[in-house]
Amino acid sequence: MDTLSTNKTAGDPWLLTPGPLTTSATVKAAMLHDWGSRDCAFIEATARVRARLVEMAGGGDAYTCVPMQGSGTFAVEAMIGTLVPPAGKLLILVNGAYGERIARISRYYSRAHATLTAPEDRAIDPAEVAAALAKDPAITHVAVVHCETTSGVLNPIAEIAAIVARAGRLLLIDAMSAFGAIELDAAAVPFAAVAASANKCLEGVPGLGFVIVRKDAIAASAGNAPSLSLDLHDQWQAMEKNGQWRFTPPTHVLFAFDRALDEHAAEGGVAGRGARYRANCRLLIDGMTALGFVPLLPAGLQAPIIVTFRMPADPRFDFQLFYDGLVARGYVIYPGKLTVADSFRIGCIGRLGEPEMKGALGAIRATLADMGVRDGSPEPARRAAG
């Protein structure tokens, strides 16, 4: 692959965040045109993007892809609101803010639901899912987040999918922060639908999400959605009829996404993209650990997407100063979102490679030195002992 370091516009910071994230110059350049919504090139690009996403998920003929205008949450909401019928009941597996958001969507839509909750620093236990399904025959669908971006924890999606399939229920996956970098193959992970967006591991620009869905499931969902703009069935029907979007499409975003998918393929698809992110994650964790920082998650639960670090104990450490010092040096990180521990997060995804991760670690060392912090350990009094 061509060098990554020419990929942002000069003067822009590197985004070590869970999205929007740093995109390549060529993805940004793909937007420098205007298209009408009935433009042949646009209709063809829409069809091409849909087909490539189904293929990426190992979907084959049984699946289709329905893109949806908006951020990732719009796609998740369209998936839940359209596929869970008014008479259905959704079991939501919650170990972070995005699982909670699915519960919130269910409340807005007055869909019957139950939650199975695990702490934010643990994965969902498949055995508990099996028990919950055995106990409540009213449950028709199960929703799970593949990588819970709140902490960066990876849920055991294959085990959960097998249990849900064996119990005869339908699985809906929010794979927003994993899709394109962590394998999700419909043949190995039987799912009814998976929602993701253009602007995470697929390295497009923000503005559209999509749902890869079994054709039989979407065909059976007519009339379910209480929302017109987020009616996935209606969007699907329109696209099948004439290849067009129902309402103003995000033309520029779609062309940038098409280009981003070219670059994803050129990097070796999901395996190649995942390998770069794993290398980024390893560099980050090794470099931060050398500075005394402690990741929240054990290695076995950590997805190579975003890493949560516990807040240092040194009273001279001030997160706002730390954040601002990194921005001044050209790197943007992310505050924590956890309730279990005071923390901050650093992303491994986007058009970033070894030079950028090393650059970020250099900026972190310099910023800590400015603050007079010699140790990022979350345990107090380690310095006093020496």
Ligand X SMILES: *Cc1c(COP(=O)(O)O)cnc(C)c1O
Which residues are near ligand X by CB under 6 A?
A: 18-19, 71-73, 76, 98, 145, 149, 174, 176-177, 197
Closer to ligand X by CB, 209 or 292: give it: 209
Smallest distance from the beta carbon of 297 to ligand X, in angstroms? Answer: 15
Smallest distance from the beta carbon of 51 to ligand X, in angstroms? Answer: 23
Smallest distance from the beta carbon of 18 to ligand X, in angstroms? Answer: 6
Q: Tell me how far CA of residue 323 lies from CA of 20, 99, 213, 227, 304, in angstroms.
A: 18, 27, 40, 39, 22
What does the alpha-carbon distance between residue 227 and residue 147 come to, in Å, rounded to a whole number?
A: 27
Contact 319, 367 (CB under 8 A): no
Closer to ligand X by CB, 76 or 84: give it: 76
Closer to ligand X by CB, 217 or 349: give it: 349
The one-letter code for the residue type at 59 is G
Q: Which residues contact 286 (CB under 8 A, 6 or more apart)?
A: none
CB atoms within 10 A of CB 117: 15
Smallest distance from the beta carbon of 81 to ligand X, in angstroms? Answer: 15
Smallest distance from the beta carbon of 73 to ligand X, in angstroms? Answer: 3
Smallest distance from the beta carbon of 19 to ligand X, in angstroms? Answer: 6
Closer to ligand X by CB, 75 or 225: give it: 75
CB atoms within 10 A of CB 386: 5
Helix axes 97-108, 72-83, angle to 10 degrees: 50
What does the alpha-carbon distance between residue 310 and residue 84 come to, in Å, rounded to a whole number?
A: 38
Closer to ligand X by CB, 145 or 288: give it: 145
Smallest distance from the beta carbon of 321 to ligand X, in angstroms? Answer: 27
Residue with tokens 């045109």: 33
Closer to ligand X by CB, 69 or 367: give it: 69
Smallest distance from the beta carbon of 144 to ligand X, in angstroms? Answer: 10
The CA dihedral of 126, 131, 136, 139, to the nearest 10 degrees, is 10
Q: Nearest-CB residue to ligand X?
A: 72
DSSP 13: P
Q: Which residues contact 215 (CB under 8 A, 6 or more apart)?
A: 61, 62, 63, 64
Smallest distance from the beta carbon of 197 to ligand X, in angstroms? Answer: 5
What does the alpha-carbon distance between residue 97 and residue 99 come to, in Å, rounded to a whole number?
A: 6
What does the alpha-carbon distance between residue 333 and residue 344 come to, in Å, rounded to a whole number?
A: 8
DSSP 301: G
Closer to ligand X by CB, 98 or 257: give it: 98
Closer to ligand X by CB, 181 or 373: give it: 181
Smallest distance from the beta carbon of 49 to ligand X, in angstroms? Answer: 18
> Cα 152 from chain centroid?
10
3-state secondary structure of 185: coil
Closer to ligand X by CB, 145 or 230: give it: 145
Closer to ligand X by CB, 54 or 194: give it: 194
Contact 205, 253 (CB under 8 A): yes
What does the alpha-carbon distance between residue 102 and residue 97 come to, in Å, rounded to a whole number?
A: 9
3-state secondary structure of 334: strand
